[in-house]
Structure 1
Amino acid sequence: MTDASSSPTALADPEGPAAAGPAGRGPRARDTVAYLRYGAGKLLGAAVSLFAVLVTSFFLFRIIPGDPVRTITHGRAVSAEQLQSLRRQFGIDKPLWEQFTQYCGQALQGDFGNSYQLYDPVGELIWDRLPATLLLTGTAFVLYSLIGVWLGTRSAWRNGGLGDRFHTGLSLTLYSVPSFWLGLMLINVFAVGVGFVPGLFPTGLMESGDGSTGLAHALDVAHHMVLPVLTLVAVGYAQTLLVMRSSLLDEMGSDYLTTARAKGLRDALVRRRHAVPNALLPTATLLFVNLGNVVAGQILVETVFSWPGLGGLFYEALSIPDLPLLQGLFFVFAAGVILMNTLADLIYPLLDPRVGR
């Protein structure tokens, strides 16, 4: 009879069959417990971060110079009593600590108050503008993620080649260009027209407003999206390509790739099945951060192209300042990034079992 201590299971588990439990489920159970503890810590950290954002959003915008009441009533004959009545209506006549406690209590219930300028609930204003932002930034995110990962992989695998030098140089240039400046240049060239290049695309807004429906309306919206999406894709593709290229270059000298080649695997198979999955972790971090920014949109790009999304709404609120609207938008923007980062942290152990142990 074979000695149990010499079996493969006993050699694989230093604590022996007794520690492994029935059917050898001990190590897997310990991994599950470790992952649950890891996940609970990340979720707790996300909750603390969200509360910190809630507190920060209250004080951050109160250091902005300006009086919302005087800005809203600018150019009108308003008495001191009417100004005081508006301050009382907005709740900014109360002591700061009372405003803070009231804000936190309402915000924890999902109520960020009413906009000073538009008089509508902040939640409704955000919900109305959210689809336009998701359409614009979501489309750009999908495009630059696919292009950046694909070209970054090819550039690294053919390091030093003509294509690698071209894409790396172009990415470094685009990554250093401010997005609003690039948007203005695209408007000047492709919307206004320069020399022999005619104006091909609209300069702003989301649609022409000609009452078209169905496919004609979809094509009209797509026509308005071309320049803002191109601006976002140019910057996002550059960032994604550089991170993916750097990560894959770090993996290319690893021993496991040499072993895979020595076993006779084709170069394309080595790259696709072995090198790229291990190089994706840093890129996955970037993609999840960018996915969180999909909700926030791009304030400057939306402002330049007069896109009716959350970014443009934030810019409008900042000019007053419309405190409830600024606080609600800031919380939504930050919450999107925090939640996506937390999701990335929870997925990491599934991609790399060493994480969270």
Structure 2
Amino acid sequence: MMRSRGYLIRRFLQALLALFIIATLLFFLFRLGLPDPTTALVSEGLSPEQRAEVRAQFGLDQPLWQQYLIFLQNAVTGDFGTSFHYRAPVADIVWERLGNTMVLMLTAIIAAYGIGMPLGAWLSWRRGSNADSLGVFLGLMFRSAPMFWTGMIAILVFGVWLEWLPTSGMRTLPYEASGFWDKILTLDFLHHLILPASIVALFYLGSPLLIMRNTMLEVYGEDFIEMARAKGLTERRVLYKHAARNALLPVVTQLAVTIGLAAGGQVVVEVVFSWPGLGREILNAVRTSDFPLAQACFLIMACFVIFLNLAVDILYSALDPRVRLK
């Protein structure tokens, strides 16, 4: 018990250290690698004094080390400052865009893994058959196909030719929503969600399908599988109750990474479908040298990836009793 607690504390401290390093790199990379944001903040007709006043308003006149300390202090408290472009609190912008992104991405990921894992297990059972070859081919094809290409094809077929689904946005304009839940709990929103969520789901489908299939093939050679068969259990019971559980570890690891990366959205999908998510906002922030907004977006992505991987380490022992925290 004490060893497990010490391991968890050590892993948590490592996660905090990783976040600190990432935050530091983000701060200096954006300030040293992007153009001066003053050009986006002020118009050409302002005098040098007025330009200096605008820089002072956003804290850009302070030494770099002071800006860095202020950034770290604000990041700990969840205050990411004011957006240069929107002239509004970064936190409000980020949480709104993150909510839009997570609805799209989680819908797609749940569909991809909900279909991919059992299908991968079934393909391993039918190894060498035509169904297995077709499943592997489709999984590789959708994983390899660029999402902007499949997205534009889907828009052309289902949006333009058949006119079954809308091709852009989250809701039909004009609309007024009193809050986040009021915005998404409508049939109109679900109608807009189908096309982009399907494209993302097809892209992610290949990972759980192929990982589950290949891992299951390795598990079939273990002694406990032969023991289960010797007990007279049906092949389906051996497949899903014994083999599948022990094949879940790499799939769960991939799922955690996928969810973490999904927090930043798929920039290509959000741009193609004009989805107002975090991925498209990152692109706009880098374009306009909006340091506070870009830093907050990337830092939230890092938080998701790091702490979801920490959660996977803890869940390993629950999924496989042979794995212990040491």
Same fold (TM over 0.5): yes
Per mean C-alpha deviation after superposition, the further-off stretch among 102-111 and 242-251 is 102-111
Q: Secondary structure at the match of 1:200?
A: coil
AA matched with 1:204: S
Query: Is 2:224 the partner of 1:260?
Result: no
Kept in 2, the 8 Å contact 1:72–1:320? The answer is: no
Q: Distance in 2 between matches of 1:215 and 1:336?
A: 24
CA contact (8 A) 2:165 2:192 kept: yes
Contact 1:303 1:315 in 2 (8 A): no
Unpaired runs of 5+ residues, structure 1, are 1-31
- Asked if the contact 2:248/2:319 (under 8 Å) is kept, the reply is no
**Structure 1 position 79, deviation (Å):** 2.6
Q: 1:91 to 1:346 in 2, by over 3 A?
A: same
- Quote the offset at 1:311 in angstroms: 1.6
1:254-290 CA deviation, whole Å, 9 max, x = no partner? 2221121122111011112210011110001011222
| 1:345 paired residue among 287, 290, 313 | 313
Of 191, 205, 219 in structure 2, the residue corresponding to residue 251 of structure 1 is: 219
Aligned to 2:40: 71
Q: Distance in 2 between matches of 1:171 and 1:85?
A: 56
Q: CA deviation at 1:216?
A: 11
Compute the TM-score of the two structures, normalised by the length of structure 1.
0.84
Q: CA separation of 1:160/1:46 partners in 2, compared to 1, >3 Å: closer, same or farther?
A: same
Question: Are residues 267 and 137 of structure 1, via their aligned partners in 2, closer, same or farther at CA, if it must alter by over 3 Å?
Answer: same
Amino acid at match of 2:173: G
Query: In structure 2, which of residues 135, 156, 171 is the aligned counterpart of residue 207 of structure 1?
Result: 171
1:39 aligns with 2:3: no
2:133 aligned with 1:165: yes
Match of 1:222 in 2: 190
CA shift for structure 1 position 184: 2.4
Greater RCO structure (CA 8 Å; 6+ sep): 2
Q: Return the TM-score normalized by structure 2.
A: 0.92
Residue type matched to 1:202 in 2? P
State which drifts further: 297-306 or 260-269: 297-306
State the one-letter code of the partner of 1:248.
Answer: M
Query: Alignment RMSD, CA only?
Result: 2.1
State the match for 2:63 in structure 1.
Answer: 95
Bigger radius of gyration: 1
The amino acid that maps onto 2:132 is D
8 Å CA contact 1:42–1:345 kept in 2: the answer is: no
Three-state SS of the structure 2 residue aligned to 1:46 is helix
The structure-2 alpha-carbon separation of the partners of 1:287 and 1:216, relative to structure 1 and needing over 3 Å to count, comes to closer
